Structure formats: C-alpha cells, structure tokens
Amino acid sequence: MTTDEYKQDCGCTDAPPKNECDDCDTHLIDVLKCKAAGVAAEAAYNAVYQNEVSAAQAKFNEIRDNYRSTRGDVALDVHDMRHQTKRVIDRVKCLIKQHRVVECLDDAWCEVEHELEKCWTGGCCVKSEHCTFEIPDPPPWPENPTCETERYSAELNALIAKYTDHAAKAKDCFTTLSGEPAALAQRVRDRKAELDDVLAKLGGDAATTDLKRLYASALVLRYRLAMIWNGFKEPKDFVDCLCRALTCWTQGSAAIAVLKGRLAVLECREQACADRCAYIKDHTVDEILTVYEKKCCPDPCPPATDDSDDSDDSDDDCDCGCKKPYASAE
C-alpha cells in the first residue's frame, strides 16, 4: 500500500469524510449576538424619539386648524390697516410739501429695506435638501472577521451627526410653526398699535410734529403689514411647511435609529474580534487542539490494512499527527 493510500484511510485528505452532524461554525454565535445588539440599539433610540414625534403628529391637525382660524379672523383687519396706512403715507407727503425731502426719505428707505431683506427669517424653516436621509449598505460580515472596521465606523458616526443636526432643525422648525397662530395674532395687535400711534401723531399739532419721522414710521408700518403673514402667502403654504417639518423630523429620526443599530453591530463585531484575539493569545494550545479535532483524522488512526507495507519511513504520520500503529521500534 502506498503512503497516499494510507493517508486516505486515515481520513486526512483535503475533504475528510463527514460524520452524521455538520460542523457547527462558532463564528455564527458572534453574528447572532451582534445582530441582536443592533436591534436593541435601534429600539433604544426609537423609544427616545418616538414619544416626541407621536405627540407632534397628534398636534398637527390642531396647529393647522388654529392657523387657518386665526388667519381668517384677522384677514379683514390686515386689509383695513393696509388701506389706512396707504392713506397716511399720501397725507404725510402732502404735509411735508417739499418733494426733494420725500424723495430722499424714499431712497433712504430703499437702502434700509434691502438690509432688512438680508435679516428676514420668515417663510418655511425647513430646507428640502436637509430632508434626504440615505442609508448606505452595511459591509458584509466577513467569513473570517477582522478588526478593520474603522472606515465604515467613521462613516456611520459622520452620518449620525449630520442626520441628527438636520432632524433637530426640522424639530425646531415644527416647534416654531406650532406657535405661529398665536404669533400671527400678536403681530396683528402690534401693527394695530403702531397704526394708532401714527394716526394720533398725524392728528396732533402740525407745528410740533416731526413729519420726517412720521413718514418713515408709516413706511415701516407698510412694510411690516406686507410681511404680516411671515412669508406664507396662503394658509396652504403654512400647512405644507408644517407637514414638511414633521415629515423631515420623523424620517431623520428613523434613519438615525437604523444607523445607530448598524453602528452597534459594528462595535459588537470589533469587540468580538478583540475578544477572539485575546482568547487565542491566552489559549493557543487549546485552539490548536480544537482545530485539530475539527479538521484532522480520528485518534488513534484506523489500523493498517497491509502489514507488508515496506515503507522506509515507519514513523510518518498522516499529516495530522496520527502515528502508524504498526510502526516497529528500531
């Protein structure tokens, strides 16, 4: 019998015969453990944000209806104040009499108005470009895991920070918009007080009235009345912004939860790798024997079937440390 034939009898080929049960891959334990860690991390974040989002969703209809009602209540007052302000401006122009003074005041107002436009913060407070929350595919769990996961971990942390910022801004926008019905009513009251003040001064002693200041005040009042709706031309524009803010906040929070789950999986993988390295460093002999038992032939080797084997190397094993039982001592 040749040496190769004996090796095959010992079961030490590249594909050793299988027993009744397939080998169990202990690596799967780490896979399942880390998947569970990811699910737990995602659930933990969901528990944090879900209550706030659910409360905001419940308030959505209330805010929308309050805004529509408030706007309907003040619409006629705003229209009337605009009309009165226009009349005040025309009247003060006549009282000033000097066209050059009025013209210079108008030019000065134009410059200041341009500055005000730069400072204006009204309108929809959520930006559509901040409401895209793409989630990259996670790296596959390698068959032979390594600890080289820093790059993907950095990407996840960067995305979590970015999406957290965008979701927080959407949340702040929703909070601001929730106060818009009351803020609108207050703005109308403030403009009414300003108009009353201008009218009172216009009806006072012309000799002691600063007409230039009165004219400038009337111009500012006209501007503030033009901006009374805070950038929402129609009620539907406000409702659309409110909806976008809530949707953006919700989508962002959901994406963050997924990313936190994936980060937890990644961190678990890193820890599993570190634990594995620590174990095999401290238990190297045990690991050698474990691999031996899994991959190599049974011990002792099956008895030889050809006693006439005259191989010169009687002490050869079958590549797995299985000594030939029939080897004679010299």
Is position 78 within any domain?
yes
**pLDDT in the model for residue 36:** 86
Is position 84 within any domain?
yes
Find the distance separating the first CA and the last CA of the chain, reported in whole Å. Answer: 21
CB 176 within 8 A of CB 56: no
Neighbours of 120 (CB within 10 A): 10
Is position 16 within any domain?
no
Is position 289 within any domain?
no
Is position 282 within any domain?
no
Please give the residue range of the domain that contains residue 229: 27-123+149-265
Neighbours of 210 (CB within 10 A): 10
Where do we find the tokens 């006072």? 204
Q: What are phi and psi of 205, to 5 degrees?
A: -70, 115
pTM for the whole structure: 0.71
**pLDDT in the model for residue 279:** 77
**pLDDT in the model for residue 301:** 54
Alpha-carbon span 41 to 264, nearest angstrom? 6
Largest CA distance in the chain: 138
**pLDDT in the model for residue 93:** 93
**pLDDT in the model for residue 302:** 55
pLDDT, one tens digit for every residue, the chain (330 residues): 444 444 444 444 454 544 444 566 666 777 778 888 888 888 888 888 888 888 999 999 999 999 999 999 999 999 999 999 999 999 999 999 899 999 999 999 999 999 999 999 899 999 988 999 998 877 665 554 455 566 778 888 999 999 999 999 999 999 999 999 999 999 999 999 999 999 999 988 877 889 999 999 999 999 999 999 999 999 999 999 999 999 999 999 999 999 998 888 887 877 777 777 877 787 788 778 877 777 765 555 555 555 555 545 545 555 555 444 444 444
DSSP string computed for 17-84 = PP-SSPPP-THHHHHHHHHHHHHHHHHHHHHHHHHHHHHHHHHHHHHHHHHHHHHHHHHHHHHHHHHH
**pLDDT in the model for residue 12:** 46
**pLDDT in the model for residue 266:** 80
Per the structure, how many domains does the chain have? 1
DSSP β-bridge partners for residue 274: none
Name residue 269's amino acid: R
Is position 31 within any domain?
yes
Alpha-carbon span 259 to 136, nearest angstrom? 9
Choose among 124, 87, 121, 326: nearest CA to 237: 124
Is position 139 within any domain?
no
Is position 97 within any domain?
yes
**pLDDT in the model for residue 112:** 96
DSSP string computed for 173-230 = HHHHHHTHHHHHHHHHHHHHHHHHHHHHHHTS-TTT--HHHHHHHHHHHHHHHHTTTT
